[in-house]
Amino acid sequence: MLKAGIMGSTGYTGHELIGLLKRHPAVEIVFAASASSAGSDLIQAYPGGPAQALVAPDEVDLSSADVAFLCVPHGSAAPWAKRAIEAGARVIDLSADFRLSDPQVFKSWYGVEHAAPELLDNAVYGLTEWAREDLPEAQLVANPGCYPTSVLLPLLPLVQAGALSGTVVVDSKSGVTGAGRRPRPHTQFAELSENLVPYALGRAHRHVPEMEQALAWASPTPPGLIFSPHLLPVARGILSTIYAPLAEGWDEALLRQVLTGAYADEVFVELLPPGDAATLAHVVRSNRCVMGVVVSEGTAIITSAIDNLLKGAAGQAVQNMNAVFGLDETLGVV
Amino acid sequence: MLKAGIMGSTGYTGHELIGLLKRHPAVEIVFAASASSAGSDLIQAYPGGPAQALVAPDEVDLSSADVAFLCVPHGSAAPWAKRAIEAGARVIDLSADFRLSDPQVFKSWYGVEHAAPELLDNAVYGLTEWAREDLPEAQLVANPGCYPTSVLLPLLPLVQAGALSGTVVVDSKSGVTGAGRRPRPHTQFAELSENLVPYALGRAHRHVPEMEQALAWASPTPPGLIFSPHLLPVARGILSTIYAPLAEGWDEALLRQVLTGAYADEVFVELLPPGDAATLAHVVRSNRCVMGVVVSEGTAIITSAIDNLLKGAAGQAVQNMNAVFGLDETLGVV
Amino acid sequence: MLKAGIMGSTGYTGHELIGLLKRHPAVEIVFAASASSAGSDLIQAYPGGPAQALVAPDEVDLSSADVAFLCVPHGSAAPWAKRAIEAGARVIDLSADFRLSDPQVFKSWYGVEHAAPELLDNAVYGLTEWAREDLPEAQLVANPGCYPTSVLLPLLPLVQAGALSGTVVVDSKSGVTGAGRRPRPHTQFAELSENLVPYALGRAHRHVPEMEQALAWASPTPPGLIFSPHLLPVARGILSTIYAPLAEGWDEALLRQVLTGAYADEVFVELLPPGDAATLAHVVRSNRCVMGVVVSEGTAIITSAIDNLLKGAAGQAVQNMNAVFGLDETLGVV
Amino acid sequence: MLKAGIMGSTGYTGHELIGLLKRHPAVEIVFAASASSAGSDLIQAYPGGPAQALVAPDEVDLSSADVAFLCVPHGSAAPWAKRAIEAGARVIDLSADFRLSDPQVFKSWYGVEHAAPELLDNAVYGLTEWAREDLPEAQLVANPGCYPTSVLLPLLPLVQAGALSGTVVVDSKSGVTGAGRRPRPHTQFAELSENLVPYALGRAHRHVPEMEQALAWASPTPPGLIFSPHLLPVARGILSTIYAPLAEGWDEALLRQVLTGAYADEVFVELLPPGDAATLAHVVRSNRCVMGVVVSEGTAIITSAIDNLLKGAAGQAVQNMNAVFGLDETLGVV
């Protein structure tokens, strides 16, 4: 049995992850830490369970874990990653701390000096379907952001194939668990119910550099990005509607050929048949990314849906853990 | 034009009240105070409007107002009531500070010494349909709580008529604006959506003594009360399902006769025809209380619905203001 | 592997059941029939899956199944039960057809002549925790209604122990999947969102005779029932708030002792600690029934929550199947 | 008092319209017809009111009306328009029948021969802010579609000014009342709650030709359109996020200058300050269109929000009626 430890257990991501790990046939949780709720049980915060005793971060023995999952806030994960690696654990970081390979870029978007820049070079960006070769050797996996996961899965193969040109418009809509569990005015039921809230339009969201970095890995001439997130009155799920101008000579059939080539054998990625669009109902409570594509006016209109807490966070983290330790990637995830 | 001032403008009740007053044909707002948002405009907190400049409580000239509405938290209203009355304004208090006539009872339920017990004797409990005789002379109106309004309107005439015996069970369900605007974990969208949360079951809610006090005004032998509030995944509205054992000789026809006698001429109270039950859709965004009644096993099952922010708070407050100043009660409310 | 067949696959209950059976380690689905969608796949109606080819009811070979689940409308199940038993299959009927042991009572509540009254005597009412002795021999299991499951689990041990007297008031609130999948005006999003709808108040709902029949099994002098269902703006889950007057000498501690005695060893039934009330969040997407109890004014106030599609339908059906075939009851359910 | 008649009273639009007209100080309803509910009262379908007796379409005396509002389905309005005009009434048609000036285009999108093509030439496309000159003389007003209203109000001045070039991407999200009141599977609460559903992506929606026709009025070289509607889990409101590539030399300041020039004096159109985006909360239950604009990567990102039942249907219809009859446009609308 793999011994897993969790830092940051009471946020939505930590809770979802603990639920997955407790049902995982090859994993045993050795600790679940929480700075705010140490001494209590996770079920007190989430009455639907699971039960999991919570310990103080200071009391954790990192060396007892084969793998440490970091679900702490951005900026707080890097020091824990360092300590966990020194203690001999593999690390899967669900924060943003190791997603951007350049510490200056990190600083400009997250406002703090990176606490462990020396680890950046060896961190693997864990979009599992694209990181498989590197995962078995990875000491440190940077689990991708939720929006980027929904956007990169359809875009990476198309950019790599040279199918796109010009600026890609990404209009994303996210459930409110993506905003975290700390109570805030705009995430209150009475404010969000019957509402829809765009925010950080254009190039203002921290996921923009993350997406651009990955697209640049796929092509020396990646398309530009406009990214418009919206807060939806739903608990979970992301739907990204992506408008990607096609390069000369591309049509829907060719796009489908590329996407099928990339994902036909993937358990967690599905291309819908012509005419179908992805909806949240396709993916909520599953680790799948479901995508539809149609071409209009020389532009690919891609709908890509994930569950932000699963494929967009905890599910992909477990998928990554499975890959790191040589297990069947689907174990404990479906 | 009546000159109205509001203390506590940015909570749900204050916002709703300001919206009503701005549309009221005989009222002019002379100040709207907010301790937390002074210097900004109400529309920054509520993008749907209305616009209303907010001032600091300290800067308010209470003597400029003919009527002061207090939408501040329980315990904070009493000092303001005192100052406003001294400044010559009539006061309509939407907090609980003047609902309980006995300061000891207040202290035992609200945990603080009453700040102006000398005003209690002259405060009028403003369940408008039952307070009309006293309102024109009232210096101070205690606007009823939201749950009590939904419960007392159907029960008062029945208790007065001696129709009930034994213990009345009140199973109430409230929209989340009733819990106030301060962000808290259980009022987050992701926690409340797809949920239903009972709380303060039995005799633990502060509205129990308020309801019992009013029932005791109606009868020397009022029925006992069990009260179970539930938090609903809706923004606004209260539905109380009331189970009232009938006294000997009472049936549905007689109950209907009493209720019709009490409310046939009332604009804001409606008894549904036999077989119909009240729903939130009957009342949300109106100042009405709609009630249905059916008898089963010698028990009256009464459904009573109000909008917690209107008949349960701001709407009844304006109705009371109209009555205090001799205006048509419906002015600015429908 | 048990061979399972499903009649009526595209309703909410059939879909939920198929999802459970496909993940069940000891079950293989041999057919899934649908009168309305034969020839298509279940995933076309439910994009989140699972995939399951649907066949016409006429084309089904009932003898290929060890167990037939009937998820067809009330009145349509009895003929199928007959044919399935004749074909040698055990039957688990999720309709109401075999819940009431008296065919005259069935007729008076469901408006049709019972199609297989000769089977009623041997049908086992499958409230699993109370039917365990009879299930291994059962040819035909009548899976309980959703509301009755939420009500009987807490009430049966208390009635059996003689703890209650007088009339029990049951105020139930149900998610809209309980109303079935056929589109109707009052279950439209725009009608139900921000609404709450009481219906069939008192003794008008078909689940009343079902609950009374079971209570009469537990005591020769069962309490009377008042039952008030409400339609909630949530997809799934039932919360019943039950007001049960206590017999002489009973208090909260004694009630807890009885409930603990009945359920301490049960995986799917949980009594919350003193002071806690059951919420939908405790149970949605689980097969559990979670209950809280508090006493006020000589009345037990019991909150009892289930997922209407799981413990209230498909989950309990699989639990019953496990019991019928001697498997671990929790297999494929948790 | 203007005498108003309504054909098609029980849909969401008809109901909303009747509510507005009953509160309108200068209007009297002379008939409200409903094919499906003749003989009953509107309040039976909408318990929140208003009350309005419904008559059979055949029994209506069109000549009794100064103005006839047509809220019947597409294709059914044209014959009524003809009869109403012959009877001497002015007509405001809320269906699509007179929005497209070319009957061949109508036929290709709506699948039926136009029933009154001779009226098309004189029909005024009633986007009020752009139709004011023609409204006083109009016999027949084609009330714009809901999506087009949200899109054309921001785009028309920009297209007229030559600010845009290339293809405009419109990503629209609509509340479910836009889909009409007839119960259908995908508009059921249990299907739409926690979901988000794109449909008719690209150029497949009937509002595309309507928007393109209006843009072509504004410029001989209008931009191309990609239009992607999404169904939101909210009852009412449309938010369109519009991505419009700028022509050479345009920036945010210039765009704001054009929009301010167009709408600074408009009561119902508001441009938000820099940095703010429109949300549904800005507009629901008001007749306003609120818009935000930001420029990124040479593309204007415009958020434009309306209430689909008010500015997108009944509210604009009353605004148009006011303009037709020379009344203050805001009468009965705010």
pLDDT of residue C269: 98
Asked if residue B218 and residue B79 are part of one domain, the reply reads no
Chain D residue at shortest CA distance from C176: D190
Percentage of chain C lying above the pLDDT 70 cut: 100
pLDDT confidence of residue B230: 98
Looking at the structure, tell me whether residues B165 and B287 fall in a common domain.
Answer: yes
Minimal Cβ distance to B197: which of C203, C279, C301: C279
pLDDT band at C232 (very low <50, low <70, confident <90, very high): very high
Domain boundaries, position C203: 147-308
**Mutation site for A-interface testing, chosen from B186, B189, B199 by largest number of A Cβ within 10 Å:** B189
Residue A102 has a pLDDT of 97
Examine the domain organization and report whether C109 and C166 are in the same domain.
no
Q: ipTM of the assembly?
A: 0.97
The predicted model gives A122-150 an average pLDDT of 98
Same domain, C301 and C168: yes
Asked whether the beta carbons of residue A47 and residue C285 sit closer than 8 angstroms, the reply is no
Average pLDDT over residues D187-206: 97
pLDDT of residue D334: 81
pLDDT per residue over C294-307, tens digit each?
A: 999 999 999 999 99
The pLDDT mean for chain A works out to: 97
Are D241 and D151 within one domain? yes
Residue B275 and residue B175 share a domain: yes
Is B234's CB within 8 Å of A193's CB? yes
Number of residue pairs across A and D with CB atoms under 8 Å?
142
> Is the CB of B230 less than 8 angstroms away from the CB of C241?
yes
Q: B286 and D46: CB-CB below 8 Å? A: no
Question: What pLDDT does A41 receive?
Answer: 98
Q: Is D47 on the interface with B (CB under 8 A)?
A: yes
Question: Is the domain of A114 the same as that of A186?
Answer: no
3-class DSSP assignment, residue D161: coil
CB pairs under 8 A between B and D: 28
Q: Judge if B162 and B104 occupy the same domain.
A: no
User: What is the number of other CB atoms lying within 10 angstroms of the CB of residue B248?
Assistant: 7
Residue A334 in this model has a pLDDT that exceeds 90: no
Query: What single-letter DSSP state applies at residue D279?
Result: -
pLDDT at B154: 98
D273 CB near a chain B CB, below 8 Å?
A: no
Nearest chain A alpha carbon to D166: A297
Shortest CB distance from C282 goes to which of A47, A193, A286?
A47
Instruction: Indicate which CATH number applies to the domain containing B80.
Output: 3.40.50.720
Chain D: nearest CA to A27, how far in angstroms?
31
Are C8 and C14 in contact by the 8 Å Cβ rule? The answer is yes
Place of tokens 């991407």: D169
User: Out of D193, D194, D286, whose CB is closest to B48?
Assistant: D286
B55-92 pLDDT per residue, tens: 999 999 999 999 999 999 999 999 999 999 999 999 99
Question: Catalytic: B71?
Answer: no
Å between C44 CA and nearest CA of chain B: 25
pLDDT at B334: 81
Query: Which one, of D312, D327, D268, D288, lies nearest residue D67 by Cα?
Result: D327
Task: Name the DSSP class of D257.
Answer: H
| Cβ–Cβ contact C288 with B under 8 A | no
Does residue D55 lie within any of the structural domains? yes
CB-nearest partner of D301 from A175, A194, A226: A226
Of A48, A284, A286, nearest to C281 by CB-CB distance is A48
Q: Residue by residue, what is the 3-state secondary structure of chain C? A: CEEEEEECCCCHHHHHHHHHHHHCCCEEEEEEECCCCCCCEHHHHCCCCCCCECECHHHCCHHHCCEEEECCCCCCHHHHHHHHHHCCCEEEECCCCCCCCCHHHHHHHHCCCCCCHHHHHHCEECCHHHHCCCHHHCCEEECCCHHHHHHHHHHHHHHHCCCECCEEEEEEEECHHHHCCCCCHHHEHHHHCCCCEECCCECCCCHHHHHHHHHHHHCCCCCEEEEEEEECCCCCCEEEEEEEEECCCCCHHHHHHHHHHHHCCCCCEEECCCCCCCCHHHCCCCCCEEEEEEEECCEEEEEEEECCCHHHHHHHHHHHHHHHCCCCCCCCCC
Considering A85, A146, A208, A231, which one is annotated as catalytic? A146
**Contacting residues of D for C184, CB less than 8 Å apart:** 183
Verify whether the Cβ–Cβ distance D169 to A197 is below 8 Å: no
Q: What's the rounded mean pLDDT across residues B277-295? A: 98
Q: Using the beta-carbon criterion (under 8 Å), do B280 and C224 form an inter-chain contact?
A: no
Burial of D149 (0-12, 13-18, 19+ CB in 10 A): buried
C97 and C170 inside one domain: no
* Cβ contact A187–B188 (<8 Å): yes
Chain D residues touching residue B284 (CB < 8 angstroms): 48
C127 within some domain: no
Catalytic, out of D4, D85, D123, D146: D146
Report pLDDT for C297: 95
Binning pLDDT at 50, 70 and 90, where does residue A320 land? very high
**In this prediction, what percent of chain A has a pLDDT beyond 70?**
100
**How far apart, in whole angstroms, are the C-alpha atoms of residue A137 and residue A134?**
6
State the best of B150, B171, B177, B196 to mutate against chain C, taking most chain C CBs within 10 Å: B196
The per-residue pLDDT for range A63-102, each reduced to its tens digit, is 999 999 999 999 999 999 999 999 999 999 999 999 999 9
At B146, phi and psi to the nearest 5?
-70, -50
Whether the CB-CB separation of A208 and A149 falls below 8 Å is answered with: no
- The residues in D 171-190 lying below 8 A from B, measured between CB atoms, are none
Chain B residues touching C251 at Cβ < 8 A:
none
Tokens found for residue A43:
């079920």
Does residue D62 fall inside a structural domain? Answer: yes
State mean pLDDT over C264-278: 98
Q: Establish if B329 belongs to a structural domain.
A: no
Q: How many CB atoms lie within 10 A of CB D18?
A: 26
Shared-domain flag, residues A14 and A120:
yes
CB B294 within 8 A of CB B271: no
Take residue D278 and report the two structure tokens written for it: 């429109």
What was the pLDDT predicted at B160? 98
| Residues forming a β-bridge with B4 | B29, B67
| Closest-CA distance of chain A to residue C107, Å | 39
Does C207 contact D at CB distance below 8 Å?
Answer: no
The per-residue pLDDT of chain D, averaged, comes to: 97
- pTM of the complete model beyond 0.90: yes
Residues of C in contact with A279 (CB under 8 A): 47
Mean pLDDT over C2-18 rounds to 98
Any idea what the CATH number is for the domain that residue C294 is in? Answer: 3.30.360.10
CB C308 within 8 A of CB C175: yes
Residue D328 pLDDT: 98
Q: What is the pLDDT of residues D169-186, one digit of tens each?
A: 999 999 999 999 999 999
Which of B195, B296, B297 is the closest to C281 by Cβ? B195
DSSP codes, D296-321 = ETTEEEEEEEE-TTIIIIIHHHHHHH
- Is D57 part of a structural domain of the chain? yes
- Could you tell me the pLDDT band of residue C334, with boundaries at 50, 70 and 90? confident
* Cα–Cα distance, B125 to B130 (Å, whole number): 9
Q: Which chains does A contact via 3+ CB–CB distances below 8 A?
A: B, C, D
Chain B contact set for C281 (CB, 8 A): 191, 194-195, 197
Tens-digit pLDDT profile for residues A228-256: 999 999 999 999 999 999 999 999 999 99
Residue D136 covered by a domain: no
Is B47 within 8 Å of chain A by CB?
no
Residue A54 reports pLDDT greater than 90: yes
- Our count of domains for chain B comes to 2
Judge if A87 and A228 occupy the same domain. Answer: no
pLDDT tens column, B167-226? 999 999 999 999 999 999 999 999 999 999 999 999 999 999 999 999 999 999 999 999
Query: Cβ-count burial of C324 within 10 angstroms (0-12 exposed, 13-18 middle, 19+ buried)?
Result: buried
Structural contact between residues C11 and C37, judged by C-beta atoms closer than 8 angstroms: no
Give the per-residue pLDDT at B53: 98
Neighbours of chain B (3+ CB pairs under 8 A): A, C, D
Interface touch D193/C12, C-beta < 8 Å? no
Check B32, B78, B146, B269 and give the catalytic one: B146
Q: In this structure, are A45 and A19 located in the same domain?
A: yes
Residue D107 lies in a domain: yes
Contact across the interface for A171 and D196, Cβ inside 8 Å: no
Would you state the pLDDT for residue D264? 97
Task: Read off the pLDDT of residues B115-159 as tens digits, 9 standing for 90 and up.
Answer: 999 999 999 999 999 999 999 999 999 999 999 999 999 999 999
* B44, B234, B239, B282, best to mutate vs chain D, most D CBs in 10 Å: B282
Cα D78 to chain center, whole Å?
17
Determine, yes or no, domain membership for C193.
yes
| CB spacing of D198 vs A284 below 8 angstroms | no
Stretch A302-320: mean pLDDT, rounded? 98
What tens digit of pLDDT does each residue of C73-105 get? Answer: 999 999 999 999 999 999 999 999 999 999 999
pLDDT in tens, B246-268: 999 999 999 999 999 999 999 99
Name B83's Cβ contacts closer than 8 Å, sequence gap at least 6.
B62
How far lies B106's CA from each of B74, B100, B210, D220, in Å?
Answer: 10, 6, 10, 73
CA distance C185 to chain D (A): 6
Q: Hey, are the CB atoms on B183 and A181 less than 8 Å from each other?
A: no
The residue behind tokens 């009747």 is: D18
CA D93 to mean position of chain CA atoms? 10
pLDDT at A109 exceeding the cut of 90: yes
pLDDT score of A142 = 98
Chains touching C, CB cut-off 8 Å, 3+ pairs: A, B, D
D48 touches chain C (CB under 8 A): no
